[in-house]
Amino acid sequence: MKLCGKPLRNRANSKFDPPDLHRCFREEGHSGKCEEFPYLRHLATCSPKVAKKIMRDSTKTTGAAWKSDDAGPNRISRWVMLLSDQELKALGIKMDMLKPIVVSKLRDKAATYDQCMNVAMSLTYSTYGMARAPAPTPEIKSYLESFFGPIVVGSTVCLVCKAPLDYADFALARRGKAELETAHSSPRSHTAKNVGFAHRLCNIAQGDRSVKEFYAWIKTILQRTGEL
Amino acid sequence: MKLCGKPLRNRANSKFDPPDLHRCFREEGHSGKCEEFPYLRHLATCSPKVAKKIMRDSTKTTGAAWKSDDAGPNRISRWVMLLSDQELKALGIKMDMLKPIVVSKLRDKAATYDQCMNVAMSLTYSTYGMARAPAPTPEIKSYLESFFGPIVVGSTVCLVCKAPLDYADFALARRGKAELETAHSSPRSHTAKNVGFAHRLCNIAQGDRSVKEFYAWIKTILQRTGEL
């Protein structure tokens, strides 16, 4: 599918975004207004929290769980983390004031606008592939399928444990933490191919490792305990 | 070894402790002052942080990582959590004001004074069994060995991944979190047999599961991914 791609000049952009960064992702030649996340229109009505989560997780760095002066900016656009320390300073973010570990964590989250938009699209597709997911509108279905292939309900699995994910788990939360999280196969690559959903406990267990490293690690454990 | 067992009346006890709860753990008929943690005397000089960690983890509930009115008391003695809601109310802890999940987490940490003291002893023994651990004094060595058998340097393994633990890892810490943590094979049993040290990442991966459940879980994952 060819996309409209017109810049969204009227979008409330932050001072961090260069002009014309945000674009229209509707089909080329569409009628009506341009839109950045047209494929989220349906989820935004039936489960606004899931739609917001997809937008946030695909485009923003994670929130700082700890509060301190050197914790760094909370939930900033991932593409801003591609700017140099000097460029960021001009925008009011003093990277040199942050602890090295915070800087590296923030820099690890860097991704281009296009990468982020691909992730948002792919997460939306994965959502519709979950067991008990609502059916997308025909328009959104054919839009997403043109990029990723047929939507098969029940085919979306946890990025880590590979068990099928249940859309109803989006509604579960423990102490403000979602049961389903956005996860990365390799922690430092924010691309549609590398990003998916995972159970919260699976994501925690994976930690800072790649999924491959995680598998190798748990295999070693089972070998050591004699379970293999 | 028979222990002295005299009550430590001069110990600065909290209002939560019944009189004569704290006892002397030196050998029966010892000379000099009574002591509650005589086997920690050596670690207390060469690595006071480790000695304090052993005392704290064996006798106290975990700290509340979150700060709020309903988070519950932070680091309270485990035996206090054996008291009834009514008894606790008289002591100023209003369990009925806490969220059910906080209550159950606190109650899960409950253990008798004797259980806690056994855990402290066993953790000290495990520490001396770590690779690169300092050698205990002959007195402490024979004290601990009389309870747990010969101390073999390099024999202490991570409770979860079963890899040998390195005493030097006690000194490592990331953002205030120790690299070695006290862990439970089964999360709800604070006994010498069930408690040990684990790598921080292993403890996190284990989560709220028993080690057995953790192994079963990771086995399922490897079966699902075709790695087995």
- Check CB contact of A70 with chain B, cutoff 8 Å: no
- Check CB contact of A173 with chain B, cutoff 8 Å: no
What are the tokens at A207? 């930690």
Give the CA angle between residues B77, B83, B84 to the nearest 5°.
145
CA distance A68 to chain B (A): 12
Task: Give the pLDDT of residue B76.
Answer: 86
What is the rounded average pLDDT of the residues B84-108? Answer: 88
CA distance A225 to chain B (A): 7
- Check CB contact of A162 with chain B, cutoff 8 Å: yes
pLDDT tens readout for residues B51-73: 999 999 999 987 654 445 566 66
DSSP A6-71: -B-TTS---TTSPTT-SB--SBTT-SS---S-GGGHHHHHH-HHHHHHHHHHHHBPPPPSS-SGGG
Selected residue with higher pLDDT from B81 and A66: B81
Mean pLDDT of chain B: 91
- Check CB contact of B228 with chain A, cutoff 8 Å: yes
Nearest beta carbon to residue B161 from set A163, A207, A221: A221
- Check CB contact of A168 with chain B, cutoff 8 Å: no
Nearest beta carbon to residue B221 from set A66, A161, A174: A161
Residue B15 has pLDDT above 80, yes or no: no
The whole-model pTM stands at 0.87
Interface test with chain A among B165, B221, B222, by most A beta carbons within 10 Å: B221
- Check CB contact of A44 with chain B, cutoff 8 Å: no
- Check CB contact of B177 with chain A, cutoff 8 Å: no
pLDDT tens readout for residues B32-55: 999 999 999 999 999 999 999 999
Q: Do A101 and B221 touch (CB under 8 A)?
A: no
What are the tokens at A13? 């952009």
Q: Do B222 and A201 touch (CB under 8 A)?
A: no
Q: Do B66 and A175 touch (CB under 8 A)?
A: yes
Task: Give the pLDDT of residue B82.
Answer: 94
Nearest beta carbon to residue A207 from set B161, B205, B215: B205
Cα–Cα nearest to A170, from A210, A123, A108? A123
Report which residue type is found at B160: V
- Check CB contact of B160 with chain A, cutoff 8 Å: yes
CA distance B130 to chain A (A): 18
B59 φ, ψ to 5°?
-110, -15
Nearest beta carbon to residue A205 from set B66, B175, B207: B207
Task: Give the pLDDT of residue B73.
Answer: 67
Taking one residue from A and the other from B, the number of pairs with CB-CB distance under 8 angstroms is 53
Task: Give the pLDDT of residue B65.
Answer: 47
Q: Which residues in chain A have Cβ-Cβ distances shorter than 8 Å to B66? A: 175
DSSP B3-16: B---B-TTS---TT
Nearest CA in chain A to B158: A221
Give the CA angle between residues B133, B139, B144 to the nearest 5°.
65
- Check CB contact of A104 with chain B, cutoff 8 Å: no
- Check CB contact of A225 with chain B, cutoff 8 Å: yes
Nearest beta carbon to residue B204 from set A160, A204, A228: A204
pLDDT tens readout for residues B163-204: 999 999 998 876 556 799 999 999 889 999 999 999 999 999
Q: Do B163 and A224 touch (CB under 8 A)?
A: yes
pLDDT tens readout for residues B97-141: 888 888 888 899 999 999 999 999 999 999 999 999 999 999 999
DSSP B97-164: GS-HHHHHHHHHT---HHHHHHHHHHHHHHHHTSBTPPPPPHHHHHHHHHHH----TT--B-TTT-PB
Q: Do B161 and A207 touch (CB under 8 A)?
A: no
- Check CB contact of B104 with chain A, cutoff 8 Å: no
Nearest CA in chain B to A160: B221
Q: What is the pLDDT along chain A (228 residues), one digit of tens a residue?
A: 999 999 998 665 577 788 889 999 999 999 999 999 999 999 999 999 999 999 999 999 876 544 455 666 677 899 999 999 999 988 888 888 888 888 888 899 999 999 999 999 999 999 999 999 999 999 999 999 999 999 999 999 999 999 999 999 998 876 556 799 999 999 989 999 999 999 999 999 999 999 999 999 999 999 999 888
Task: Give the pLDDT of residue A69.
Answer: 56
CA end-to-end span of chain B: 48
